[in-house]
Structure 1
Amino acid sequence: MAASPGMVDLDRASYSVSVATNPYDVRMPAFTLTASEAMKEALAEEEGVRLTVYRDVAGYPTVGVGHLVTPEDNLKVGDRISYERALALLEGDLKTAEEGVRNLVGDLALYQNEFDALVDLVYNVGSGNVSERESPRLNKAIAERDYQGIADELNYHHAGGSVANGLVFRSERRAAIFQEAAYSDPRPAHMSVSGNIRT
């Protein structure tokens, strides 16, 4: 039986939905969603695009759009990559984050903006930090289908054991994306993404 407009069939093989369905207007199964262009732009703004391997606020070698360098990357601090490689790393990391969100929420239906906010969270802190052991309140809210409870658990402010100003604003932005589909940067115009005052 085909799904009527606006309805979803949770069987992955026979999933169908009206082409008129807007994921910002209708909650959809997470397996049908990918990060929106607005989320990709916000992510690039938050992470920046750096073509030289550097150490992030927690001291980890990082490059591109917040890509945590792995042994398979064959890179060390100071190495330079091409813009094309940075984009390829971003796409791979986004796929990992999207899959992490799908595993996290299971069959919980999400608006596009809710999915995007969770993608940002997983991209930023990693799947391990949103596990039931590390984030029990977030997982409880998901299990209870408590969307406000999920929004309340999107705050991750610490890196390397201390509060990072940039993460405070990023958490505010993430919550605004989740609750209001507001993707704009909440920082005052005179403040950098890292939370420092621009001169």
Structure 2
Amino acid sequence: MTARTFRARVAPLALTTVLLGGVAMATAQPAAAAKAKPSNYYLKFDKNQSDPTKSRLHLMKKGAKGKADTSVKSWRAGSGNGSKDACRSNAGWLPNGSYDIEFRSTSYDGSAIKGYVIKLKDKYCAGNKTKRTDLFIHSEMTSKGGQGSKNGNDSPWRWDGDRDYKSLGCIKLKPTDIKDLFSQANSKGWPKTLKVVS
């Protein structure tokens, strides 16, 4: 192996290493979860045409050969701000279709979303090919999974009621429900995909 080849193979690993107090520690890579063994489970978001905030998110188990898939458990969930236009970024509910799950976290610390999250791959809507980005399944909580203090009429880090099922296009569950989803998936097997259906 030449020195150049060795450097080319080692360099990507070096990029994932962080020095903490003089000790090298590899950082966790979200993509690693995608290489795990196939899952017998997936998520399904079933849109409610009469009220997008009263849709359902299901943890589904794939049926054995010739058998139908079954819903293990489901939770009320919303997507979008009430608009059914899947091509309206930051407003409409998610486009129908299949989504890869990129990663999950119980301590996500984004600028607009925190706590328990499931990150979905970007998706083009069918109508005008708008690319929908920054898509998550999430709730309203702090980065540690708790509830923030009440701040006026509506706090982004606190679940204040049914109006919080509305989002900028993501899928939202109340805090106890997303924690239950994580608990169910941890015990049965983590999904690799989400299906969005009408």
Same fold (TM over 0.5): no
**Structure with higher strand content:** 2
**Structure with higher helix content:** 1
Higher relative contact order (CA 8 A, sep 6+): 2
